[in-house]
Structure 1
């Protein structure tokens, strides 16, 4: 098990490098290599604590179409606590974000904080020093004297220092003289009790699946998306490629990644001895693959200003959803 916290650096001139390899969910043959910052963060945070995140993906059966986007799927914190004994609370930031992060990491906790991706060097390929996206990181190492910290983000564990540190904590000159600047939303995760293991973990996860299946959408969410897609397509063609990237993240990626994780979860559950027919995780994985196909088709349509209602993609997605959820729900008591 990797240690959850190092309270100090043994060499004052070297940034410590945590021995952290990405979880298997972030390696190998994946259709959607990244999903959303919160889910990817928790995968690596749990993995960093020596825990397997796969049992916590029962909630993915609840994803719905929300009218303009698919549910931004996130681990329910009550599921995290039940399975792993990791309790998450909101952290009050009553004077200095830096001071509060330091206080919690000194207690062995990980602080989950919304920051400006502009200052995260692990995002060099996307937003680093270019854009200002909001994203969540999990900080477990901080050195306020040398302005260094270590953090979980996306598919791995990273570190930053210097001006990036000052940017994350809003200590740069451009942030001075702004007394009305809001504090970010911050949580902290602490190990409140031992994690479940073995058969007890699998049983609790299966119980969560049954509970979440009772909360699944009443209608096929892909069908609901299909009904409004012509209007969405008109907006895409009008607003162009920059808007397409926002759209695809909140629709194709959230749908595809959610069901890819559901597929991985069901394969894990089957490996624990539960009777899950192979056709169900295969159908969930087909949703992941077809959502990617649709993303490629749409970007071509937007680039060429061509109407493409993606009817055959919707046919595949709708049918795969039914082949996933209906037999899965039938297995629940």
Structure 2
């Protein structure tokens, strides 16, 4: 089995503010791109991100948008005997199998995850060769192959692997639980060109109607002093987890929004440059803030990052509400 010829999408190439973006969205960007589709059109949902009191909403392409734009329908896959067997049935139909796996067995992950840390992540499997024990899959910002023991680990083809992963995820009456599995199948032809951009604009309007009622960065700022005190008391490891669930998703989401707004401009929509620049400002300032806070915490200092909050709040006010006034 040969690896498909796949070059990462332009959203994952060149200069990026957030090298590791939003995992589930990164997967779909490459999955769509690998099937000849333009993932830019699916990024309208980014205007809905909110602050959830302890984290920012995790970016995720809505399944309804995927179907409207690309003609792909995502369904849950029932794994009633063997994950390998069920995945083989779907990939032979030309479908992509989306399965939550242990990153421990994914050779594309950078150290220290591969073969050293157990962590959940989702991959999109498009081809399986059970005789050679190899499979091809989309993950994060690319397309990869794995084989041999990694194949057994991902698909749980041996009792030892099933028991090991089941112990981490939970068991019922001593039996390992199957992972959550979905599959994406073609139900209609994808949109392209002007039709794709126009439907994406309609989705943008619909998502703007679902935008947060209040500036989420302002709400985060109100909660931030307590967050800083908790990070100081619980130490560096907890502070890294906070950054991964607060600053990272915020910055990565608005970097995607900036790319989306530029794409809309290129397709003839009257999107002000100020909204694109404002989204990029949030993305870059979130990175600045993450570094600044890490330095302060390493010296046990309480830094409330007022300058970063001032910049991000002002930028947000130049992006989402004005965009709604123009588009909707």
TM over 0.5: yes
| One of 140, 149, 155 as aligned partner of 1:169 | 155
Q: Which residue of 2 aligns with 1:314?
A: 309
Q: Which residue of 1 aligns with 2:40?
A: 54
Q: How far off its partner does 1:172 sit?
A: 4.4
Is the 2:152–2:161 Cα contact (8 Å) retained in structure 1? no
2:123 is equivalent to residue 128 of structure 1: no
**Secondary structure of the structure 2 residue equivalent to 1:122:** coil
The CA distance in 1 between the partners of 2:22 and 2:117, in whole Å, is 17
Q: Which runs of 4+ in 1 moved over 6 A?
A: none
Q: How far off its partner does 1:176 sit?
A: 5.6
Q: Which residue of 1 aligns with 2:104?
A: 118
Q: How far off its partner does 1:242 sit?
A: 1.8
Equivalences, count? 319
**Secondary structure of the structure 2 residue equivalent to 1:159:** strand
Q: How far off its partner does 1:173 sit?
A: 5.1
Q: Which residue of 2 aligns with 1:205?
A: 200
| One of 286, 292, 298 as aligned partner of 2:287 | 292
The CA distance in 1 between the partners of 2:162 and 2:48, in whole Å, is 43
TM-score by length of 2: 0.95
Q: Which residue of 1 aligns with 2:252?
A: 257
The CA distance in 2 between the partners of 1:241 and 1:160, in whole Å, is 34
Q: Which residue of 2 aligns with 1:214?
A: 209
What value does the CA root-mean-square deviation take over the aligned residues?
1.2
**Secondary structure of the structure 2 residue equivalent to 1:123:** coil
Q: Which residue of 2 aligns with 1:266?
A: 261
The CA distance in 1 between the partners of 2:218 and 2:277, in whole Å, is 20
The CA distance in 2 between the partners of 1:233 and 1:31, in whole Å, is 24
Which residues of structure 1 form unaligned runs of 5+?
A: 1-8, 10-15
The CA distance in 2 between the partners of 1:39 and 1:283, in whole Å, is 21
**Secondary structure of the structure 1 residue equivalent to 2:108:** helix
Deviation digits for residues 64-95 of structure 1 (CA, Å, limit 9, x no counterpart): 00111000110001001000101110101111
| One of 99, 102, 110 as aligned partner of 2:88 | 102
The CA distance in 2 between the partners of 1:242 and 1:143, in whole Å, is 40
Q: How far off its partner does 1:180 sit?
A: 2.5
**Secondary structure of the structure 1 residue equivalent to 2:143:** strand
